[in-house]
Chains A and B, each alone.
Chain A
Amino acid sequence: MNIPYLTLILFLPVAGAIVVALLPKPEQKTIRSVALVFTLLSFFLSIGVFLGFDRSSAAGTMQFEEKLSWLPAIGSAYHLGVDGISLVMMILTTLIGVLTILVSWKVTSRPREYFIWLLVLETSILGVFTSVDLIMFFIFWEVELVPMYFLISIWGTGRKEYSALKYVIYTITGSALMLAGILTLYFSVGTMDMAVIAQTDLSKATTIIPLAGIFVLLLIGFAIKLPVFPLHTWLPDAHTDAPTAVSVVLAGVLLKMGGYGMIRFNVGFFPSVAEDAAPILMALAVVNVLYGAAITLRQTDLKRLIAYSSVSHMGLVLLGVFALTPVSLTGATLQMFNHGVVTGLLFAMVGLVYDKTHNRNLGKLGGLARQMPIVVVVFSIAGLASLGLPGTSGFAAEFLVFVGSFTSTTVTSARVLTLLSAFGIVLTAGYILWMLQRVFYGPPKEEYNRVPDADRVEMLCIFSFVAVIGLIGIYPAILTNVIQVGTRSLTVLVGAP
């Protein structure tokens, strides 16, 4: 039992990148196959970890831990581990990792660099989710920027340099504050071990600046990533101008780093501060949901529309996290997974439609249902999942968030705020159905008569997404059984039963 599963999962993508870099004859077909093999291996291993994860009530929070001494002087170690929440995020990342390779199957422009960056990106995200050490967490958090910057600014479209730079500046601003937060935290408790800090009652520790100050320093970085209003405007630009696969990763997993950080740091370390801040953050969640949906309804660019819908949907994550009940936190984590898969699929579908029609403008598309029978079915399923139709993962996640938040007793205004966010289901239905109608319904247009439907690789990719959406929708317990192992330890601190 000494196989370092997490290390393998974490570094397999980078190993793939190295192999790609060393290939003697860098042909696109070889490169993508190598990338696919390494991401698949990483994915299968993460499924193995998922199956081997101890779900019993006596189970320890952190499992599959690996610890090597690294920088003993500052108490930092090479320390990996997963609890229920990070495990689910890890599976999401490796799954999306495989699917982005399939989405990129036809990328021919500078393929070697492209796939290298994509693989490095996957490792950096996995590092964020599996690190138990603060310094490691921070390093992976920062490393992720490098591949993102190049992927958007080289392979993107539109104002790609502007969007890439904007993304980097926003994130770095957040990271700077986060670093300050991490250092204050370290000098207050004297350890970089997140598992240890989570067990420490910080309100009794002597801190350099007030606890709430550290809370805010950390929060801003995560709030930019999630994103939380008014720190969200990097998102539509970055999503819209990124190449399809990067949009899928961005919406699919990068945003989840924000939600994950909030759960792990803000709620996990500072339960009492989180309780005080909850009403404000839940109110911001309502703004995210409704304001995001309102702006989504005004979009005419297909990709931008999906991008703004993310702002709205991630609002539900914020709501669930700071409602601070076991069910709401489980719901929020499930919502992160759900949003990753559903919005990942939506971006993949937009990419498909764009590749074939060379158009993303809702005013110019139309009537494609006849010409792309498979695309319309899958796009509709993704849309229905996005609007939270029962039987899809969207419903399972949203309903858990609503039930959990509505019954929150720590926040007095929770019920009103939950109902306000729940109104988002009407607005979401509005833009999703409007979008489907604009793209697919109405009389078929002649200029799209020769447009091909999804081919085999594309079908493999999008049907995999659909299978996950359906599986989680019908039997959400497959993930929630794991998630609750992680939320259990958090909510004990918040004073739940």
Chain B
Amino acid sequence: MPYQLAWFIWTLPVFAFLAITLVLRPFFNHRPHWSAYATITAIGAAFVLSIWALITVLQSPDHLLAVPRIEWAVIDGFTIHLGLLVDSLTAIMLVVVTGVSLLVQIYSQGYMHGDPGYPRYFAWMALFTANMLGLVMADSLLFMYVFWEGVGLCSYLLIGFWFHKKSAADAAKKAFLVTRLGDFGFLAGILTLYFSQNTFDIEALRTAAAAGAIAGTTLTLAAIGIFAGAAGKSAQFPLHTWLPDAMEGPTPVSSLIHAATMVAAGVFLVARMFPVFAYSETALNVVAGIGAFTAIFAASMGLVANDIKRVMAYSTISQLGYMMLALGAGGLAAYASGGSLPIEEAISLGVAVGMFHLFNHAFFKCLLFLGCGSVNHATGTFDMRYMGGLRKYMPFTTLTFVIASLSLAGIWPLSGFWSKDEILVTSWNYIPVWFYVALVTVFMTAFYCFRAVFLTFSGEYRGGEPGAHVAAHSTPGHEQSHMPHESPRVMLVPMGVLAVLSIVSGWINLSGGFSSFLGHSAESEGGWLQTLFGVFTHPLPFISLATAAAGIFLAFAMYNRKWVSATAVGRAFSPIYKVLYNKYWMDELYQGILVKSFLLNGLFRGAQEMDADVVDGVANGIGNTVVGFGKGMRRMETGQLQGYAVAIAVGLVAIMLGLYFWT
């Protein structure tokens, strides 16, 4: 592929954005569909180019597509370059992002049909995709940070798409602010690395880290700063609170955020800068620890959520935790193996395992959200308590949703099984304590996603939710009939494609192809067919499969057969249920106590009062004193000559006496 074309991958969607905002929206507003076509065409073309880029990178001996950089500005010897770095990691991300985004855009035509903000929606979706593509292609941290913030902005705009709803505006603001808190860390990390190496160039920084030029506390601090940014975008504890609320946006937006754009950015960033992490054991432990803890922490909240999108949101947070765990555990391999595994190997191991899960997760999670959207399209609600029995009305949605759930739960031979298995193996080998946590999470995952499946699709239809919720979530174009119905074909086709991908995407690494592309050559045991079945010659896959099956069975028992009453279980574990249902009161802690009580009404209020009473008070006080002094002086100027004469006389005597005693 000619390298110039690489630039078009991220600029094409930008052009679509510009075309919609500058031309189509102002002048062709009566043809809203043109906006959708513009976005779909641009992203479709970007997808084709991405495939081409992937093939080029695959064929290139060093897995690199060289794109010469452009000098943009020189400011006092501080040079800003614009450049693209298209290596195997980027090529994979490009295909995932454009592929998923394309399917989501096609689906959106049906979902957003008739919404008054239709052109605006597609303009922002194009910009969102463009920023994500730029982010994965950027060759310097500065350039990446530009797109990084751009992704944040677009998610803000899209989560708050229905800004007339307070909840949507709140959620959008929360997403931006929480991720910005992480961005502060990212910025600090960038500055630290720049101070140390005098460059933003990613390749140079990776080399410098590997060569030991950045080391010690500087390296650890830089890595942790970058991880803070990643944790914000990828919703890792303690910056996870924005993601569950982010479902206030249109469902296809959630689908894109959760699968390929926003949240994937954090994991990608860690993978991209992984050499910086790999030489600091502390940083790796932080990544693995936060990842594993987030995995189980988020999964636990998913167990009790009633909103189907919220369940999926917690599942995303949890799965991202897995990816972080994979990266951390892979990197720790070098330390755990006592030096027998070189750090370079550990780097590629971590990146390969983490990215493999990101790759698979993108497809099934996107599908799950599109499924949620389809269900919402039919019932007008996201609350599973008002769903049920939808398999009769929506067979295709049911089928694809179950496939995606099986994949998420990690059932053989679907894609989720393969990548989750690799994560479990890696953590078992190198950081066993987190293995057990990950295994418990497997159980929870299987349980909550099949709880959602059974609540939504089995049993009898519970009539959709009456009242406010429907009005709030449905858009004018969503015709609400009494009985749910299958979604239009334009929505189902993308779901079908994703369903196939959710099954087969994991097979790509059966003979280690995916890993070796990312630089990690796994020991292959012959052909892929052999691996497909041969995986069960090891005990670990059995354990994870059995755990997942147990989770599914429990969900089946509780929500399909109702052998065990869910309410009874809830009552039995009432305190735990309360903690989980209230999301560990993290929102209350952050918003109520930290932001409102401590900062706004505490510290900031103190600052404000000090400003008014002390700082301004002193200034006014000085002013008043001067004025008062002047008034006092004025009283002395009475205009009566006798008075003045007395004063003069007294003064004269005083001076004379003074002179007399002094000299």
Chain A residues with a Cβ under 8 A of chain B: 169-170, 229-230, 232-234, 291, 294-295, 297-298, 326-327, 330, 367, 369-370, 384, 389-391, 395, 399-400, 402-404, 406-407, 415, 418-419, 422-423, 425-426, 429-430, 433-434, 437, 440-444, 475-477, 480, 484, 487-488
Q: Which residues of B line the A interface, CB within 8 A? A: 72-78, 142, 145-147, 149-150, 153, 156, 160, 163-166, 169-170, 173, 176-177, 180-181, 183-184, 187-188, 191, 194-195, 599-600, 603-605, 607-608, 611, 615-616, 618-619, 623
When the two chains form the complex, which single residue of B164, B604, B623 contacts A169, counting CB atoms closer than 8 Å?
B623
Interchain nearest-CB distance for B591 vs A (Å) = 12
Question: With a CB–CB cut-off of 8 A, which chain B residues contact A476?
Answer: 73, 75
Partner of A423, one of B75, B184, B194, B619: B184
A294–B184 touching, CB < 8 Å? no
Q: A390-B146, A426-B184, A480-B75 are in contact. List 13 more A-B contacts (CB 8 A).
A: A230-B618, A298-B607, A326-B77, A390-B145, A400-B78, A415-B195, A419-B188, A425-B183, A429-B176, A433-B156, A433-B173, A442-B164, A476-B75
C-alpha gap A281/B501 in the complex (Å): 59
Contacts of A488 in B (CB 8 A): 76
Question: A259 to B172, alpha carbons, bound, how many Å?
Answer: 36
Cross-chain contact of A425 among B150, B170, B184 (Cβ < 8 A):
B184
Which of B149, B177, B619 has a CB less than 8 Å from the CB of A426?
B177
By a CB distance below 8 angstroms, the chain B residues around A418 are 191
| A294 CB contact (under 8 Å) in B170, B177, B607, B619 | B607
Instruction: Please give, as numbers and ranges, the residues of chain B lying within 8 Å of A444 by CB-CB distance.
Output: 164
A294 touches B194 (CB 8 A): no
Quick one: closest A residue to B77, CB to CB?
Answer: A326
Decide yes or no: A294 and B604 within 8 Å by CB, A369-B163, A407-B195 being known contacts: yes
Q: Decide if B173 touches A370 in the complex (CB within 8 Å).
A: no
A443: nearest chain-B partner, CB-CB: B164
In angstroms, how far is the closest chain A Cβ from the Cβ of B82?
11
A430 touches B177 (CB 8 A): yes
23 contacts between A and B (CB under 8 A): A233-B616, A295-B607, A295-B611, A298-B608, A326-B77, A384-B153, A389-B150, A406-B191, A407-B194, A422-B187, A425-B183, A425-B187, A426-B180, A426-B184, A441-B164, A442-B163, A442-B169, A443-B166, A475-B72, A477-B73, A480-B76, A484-B75, A488-B76
Docked Cα-Cα span, A417 to B77, in Å, equals 23
Minimum CB–CB distance for B489 against chain A, Å:
33
User: With contacts A298-B600, A390-B146, A437-B169 known, is A406 near B75, CB below 8 A?
Assistant: no
A400 to B188, CA, bound (A): 14
Complex Cα spacing A433 to B605, Å: 19
- Chain B residues with CB under 8 Å of A406's CB are 191, 194-195
| A441 engages B188 (CB within 8 Å) | no
Name the residue among A170, A400, A440, A441 with the largest chain B CB count within 10 angstroms. Answer: A441
Contacts of B195 in A (CB 8 A): 406-407, 415
Complex interface: chain B residues within 8 A of A327 (CB): 75-78
Contact (Cβ within 8 A) A437 B173: yes
CB–CB A326/B76 < 8 A: yes
Contacts of A391 in B (CB 8 A): 146, 150
Give the contacting residue for B76; candidates A232, A297, A330, A370; CB below 8 A: A330
Contact A441 B600 (CB under 8 A): no
Chain B hits for A233, CB < 8 A: 611, 615-616, 619
Give A297 to B605 CA distance when docked, in angstroms: 9
Residue of B at shortest CB range from A405? Answer: B191
A390 touches B150 (CB 8 A): yes
Which residues of chain B are within 8 angstroms of A400 by Cβ–Cβ distance? 75, 78
In contact, A484 and B76 (Cβ under 8 angstroms) = yes
* Closest residue on chain A to residue B617 by CB atoms: A233
* A441 in contact with B76 (CB, 8 Å): no
In whole angstroms, what is the CA distance A443 to B191 when docked? 42
A390 to B153 Cα, complex, angstroms: 10
A336 CA / B132 CA spacing, docked (Å): 31
Which one of B74, B165, B195 has the greatest number of beta carbons of chain A within 10 Å? B195
Interchain nearest-CB distance for B312 vs A (Å): 26
A440–B169 CA distance with the chains assembled, in angstroms: 10
In the complex, are the beta carbons of B149 and A389 less than 8 A apart? yes
Chain B contacts of A390 at CB under 8 A? 145-147, 149-150
Q: Looking at A370, A384, A390, A426, which has the most chain B CB atoms within 10 Å of its CB?
A: A390
Task: Give Cα A461 to B663, complex, Å.
Answer: 75
Q: What CA separation (Å) do A155 and B165 show in the bound complex?
A: 38
Across-interface contacts of A395 in B (CB, < 8 A): 146, 149
Pair B604/A295 contact, Cβ less than 8 Å: yes
Give A480 to B160 CA distance when docked, in angstroms: 36
Question: With the chains together, A442 CA to B165 CA distance in Å?
Answer: 5
A403, B78: Cβ atoms closer than 8 Å: yes
CA distance A327 to B78 in the complex (A): 7
User: How far does the alpha carbon of A173 sit from the alpha carbon of B364 in the complex, in Å?
Assistant: 68
Report chain B residues within 8 Å CB of A234: 619
Question: Are the CB atoms of A425 and B180 closer together than 8 Å?
Answer: yes
The complex places the Cα of A399 from the Cα of B143 at a distance, in Å, of: 12
Known: A326-B77, A391-B150, A441-B164. A429 touches B177 (CB 8 A): yes
Contact B76 A440, beta carbon cutoff 8 Å? no
> A395–B163 Cα gap in the complex (Å)?
26
Q: Which residues of A contact B599 (CB under 8 A)?
A: 294, 297
Cα distance A475–B605 in the bound complex, in angstroms: 39
B147 contacts which chain A residues (CB < 8 A)? 390
Least distance between B229 CB and chain A CB atoms (Å): 12
Shortest C-beta distance, A80 to chain B (Å), equals 26
B604 touches A298 (CB 8 A): yes
Chain B residue with the shortest CB-CB distance to A428: B180
Asked whether, in the complex, the Cβ of A297 is within 8 Å of the Cβ of B604, the reply is yes
CB < 8 Å: which of A294, A370, A426, A475 contacts B164? A370
In the assembled complex, the CB of A481 is this many whole angstroms from the nearest CB of chain B, namely 8
Chain B residues, Cβ within 8 Å of A294: 599, 603-604, 607-608
> In the complex, A294→B609 CA distance in Å?
11
- CB of A487, distance to nearest CB on chain B (Å): 7
Contact A402 B176 (CB under 8 A): no
A402 touching B187 by the CB < 8 A rule? yes
| Chain B residues whose CB sits within 8 angstroms of the CB of A369 once the complex forms | 163-164
A441, B169: Cβ atoms closer than 8 Å:
yes
Bound complex: CA A477 to CA B73 (Å): 6
Least distance between B78 CB and chain A CB atoms (Å): 5
Which A residue sits closest to B600, measured CB to CB?
A297
Nearest-neighbor residue (CB-CB) of A387 within chain B: B180
* Max count, chain A CB within 10 A of own CB: residue among B78, B145, B173, B615: B78
